[in-house]
Amino acid sequence: MLDDFMVRAALAGLGVVLAAAPLGCFVVWRRMAFFGAATAHAAVLGVALSLALSMSVFAGVLAVSLLMAISVTLLSHRGYAMDTLLGVMAHSSLAFGLVAVSFLTDVRIDLMAYLFGDILAVGRTDLGIIWSGSLLVLGLTLWRWQPLLLATVSEELAHAEGYDPQRESLVLTLALAIVVAVAIKVVGVLLIAALLIIPAATARPFSATPERMALIAAGLGIISVLGGLWGSWNLDTPTGPTIVCVAAILFALLNTIARFERGGKSD
């Protein structure tokens, strides 16, 4: 069955969204949308370094993403404004990555595949990496769910319960870095943040509890992946962007419905 490239693509997409959904909820709650984009931009530098050093692209992207996550977490507690810090690091790492790629004259590289993803080219090894990383992130998120929630709601409350908010922030940023590394093959560095944010933002108006929001976001992510694959196959469009387009359509449609429902109740 895995010889069918569409089945492999679907499994890869599902592996990514199952890990991205709960993390995306924390990104939305903490207003960290720019952080996801910054970590994704840093992945281009990871691609260039891994190719220059003849090492696994996944390992290079993971190393640079982790370095980015740790640096942002540590520097944000030393007086730097978060949005300024993220802006500097995101655009700088992307620029250095693109310049580094231009020096790789002896290496054939499809930069578009890394920028926008190439989910249809996912192989068995890629599937193993994607699912291993996603299950690791999912397990870490479930293990730290309550402390992460408390640190998100109130740092004082987290301290009162015996948790260190800075440590929980580091756990979250490390998990985001792993998701970026495993998702680069699916939607590419420029669309990873969209896959993190849009399903979670779509689920928010329909969620009475954090757990329900994470589950709805996962369901919407699955619909986006399968709908994007179907649309790409039938319309002959790039698959990664099509997946994000489906997620955006769901966001617009469901949020419009939610607004009408709230307006009807107020009347």
Q: Of 225, 173, 195, which Cα lies nearest the Cα of 42? A: 173
CA distance 118 to 23: 23
Low-confidence ranges of the chain (pLDDT < 70): 1-3, 73, 76-83, 105-111, 190, 263-267
CB 99 within 8 A of CB 221: no
pLDDT of residue 91: 79
What's the pLDDT at 2? 46
What's the confidence (pLDDT) of residue 81? 65
Q: What is the pLDDT of residue 80?
A: 62
What's the pLDDT at 108? 65
Dihedral over Cα of 156, 165, 84, 19: its sign: negative
* Count of CA atoms in the C-beta half-sphere (13 A) of 258: 13
Q: Specify the pLDDT at position 165.
A: 84
Question: Residues 3-22: pLDDT tens digits?
Answer: 587 888 889 889 989 888 88
Residue-level pLDDT at 109: 65
Burial of 151 (0-12, 13-18, 19+ CB in 10 A): buried
At residue 87, the pLDDT reads: 76
pLDDT of residue 228: 93
Name all domains of the chain by residue range, CATH numbers in brackets: 5-191 (1.10.3470.10)
- Taking alpha carbons only, the member of 97, 1, 7, 102 closest to residue 57 is 97
- Give whole-number Cα distances, 246 to 34, 148, 174, in Å: 21, 29, 28
**pLDDT for res 266:** 55
| CA atoms within 13 A of residue 114's CA, in its CB half-sphere | 24
C-beta pairs of 78-82 under 8 Å, 24+ apart in sequence: 82/35
Cβ pair 131, 178 in contact under 8 A = no
pLDDT digits 0-9 by tens, 146-195 = 999 988 888 888 888 888 888 888 888 888 888 888 888 777 776 788 88
Q: Can you tell me the distance from the alpha carbon of 137 to that of 131, in angstroms, rounded to the nearest whole number?
A: 10
Task: State how far the alpha carbon of 67 is from the alpha carbons of 102, 141, 165, 202, 229, in Å.
Answer: 23, 20, 20, 30, 33
Cα angle 39-58-219, degrees, rounded to a multiple of 5: 65
pLDDT of residue 88: 80
